[in-house]
Structure 1
């Protein structure tokens, strides 16, 4: 049931499980006790008393997240979130992964909680590329060593393909591609190398690129391109 509700875009699977624990989900008028309840469809299922529609086709959007907003729905401290920047006519969407408050660039948004979960699994290994503006001294040779991964304060980070793009004095732009996307990974790795990151932009996630998308702008991925990408994920797993 949790999987079907996530697929229907009600919320992420984890959030759906919390809804069920809180007694907010019913089946034919009876409160559902466990997210592991087996169903072939959502017929008769309601959340907060409202019947749940059958899942629509998965949709995926590219969003140029500006600096200064959080990747969350609500903030207890009242800070701006991505939902304050999104167009009012957008369907209910969930972010795939997160970008820090001061990190800019490409954030994928989907209507499908199960697709979100699949994309966030470390085993899926979809590459993400970032451009970082950093101050300090670094060589291309030091960056190339990151291809073997690095351990920082007991945390192991996998292979990172890093290249020095251009340098002006002690300021430089560095491009980094990784597949794990652990919390604050790019910043932690560069700070560990003695650099001070002043700007961080995610430029791509899998085959999807930021391109010329303006800050706070949204663009929907064509259904054909989304289906092709999802098939590639399935083939990679198989």
Structure 2
């Protein structure tokens, strides 16, 4: 059983908030009866209509995509660039990315048609760890790295503490590679963090999302998440903060 407004939103008819308005306005019918209460729950066999139009209900699907560089984390692009959904030509469900990776960032990107699942993972209170590998211009000092580990002030506020590990450095080319683990999901956060200490990111890849990784996948490939993995992600995202 699911809440009626969730089912309407999941079907792509309207946002959750708009669905609630439609219900209160008496524009939604369940099994040919008008419903105006927000607490109503429905099952998969119930007949739902919104303003006289039957609601087609999709089964929820969940995928892990290894997004290549040069791909937009979206379902469409007005400039004709390649988008994340282009890698799922045979999927009938209307899937979309959970969050986003920058155009020039590669790595693990979740895709789903489950709006509630996506919202839970993207909520600011979610504590799902995201692990990136960044190739930097220059070699940061230990003090600069400590400032990132403590949290550094950006234009949209101070970041939460991060875990950072040096993987390699090339003094002759003046470059270094670091692994950085964060729990937040701000726009271009990792790039902005390293820019703040004077070491721009030359190349960036998201290696892990919680317990998920890219093992067995090449850039542009995807796999379906198992029911257990979906359940684990939900639990991880909603666990109380310490």
**The TM-score by the shorter chain falls in which range?**
0.7 to 0.9
1:60 CA displacement? 2.2
- 1:71-150 matches, within 5 Å, as 71-89=73-91, 91-150=93-152
Equivalent pair of 1:20/1:33 in contact (CA under 8 Å): no
Rg larger in 1 or in 2? Answer: 2
1:72 CA displacement? 1.3
Equivalent pair of 2:149/2:162 in contact (CA under 8 Å): yes
1:28 aligned counterpart, secondary structure: strand
CA distance, structure 2, for counterparts of residue 230 and residue 123 of structure 1: 13
* Structure 2 length-normalised TM: 0.81
Query: Greater shift after overlay, 128-137 or 153-162?
Result: 153-162
* Structure 1 length-normalised TM: 0.82
Alignment partner of 2:220 out of 201, 216, 222: 216
Q: Which runs of 5+ in 2 are unaligned?
A: none
Runs in 1 of length 4+ with deviation above 6 angstroms?
19-23
CA distance, structure 2, for counterparts of residue 200 and residue 235 of structure 1: 29
1:83 aligned counterpart, secondary structure: helix
Q: Which runs of 5+ in 1 are unaligned?
A: none
User: Could you give the per-residue CA deviations for residues 99-144 of structure 1, whole angstroms, max 9, x where no partner exists?
Assistant: 1111100001123110110000010111100011111230244213
Tell me if 1:39 matches 2:40.
Answer: yes
Root mean square deviation of aligned Cα? 3.1
- 1:156-171 matches, within 5 Å, as 156-169=158-171, 170-171=174-175
Equivalent pair of 2:127/2:237 in contact (CA under 8 Å): no
Alignment partner of 2:6 out of 3, 28, 39: 3
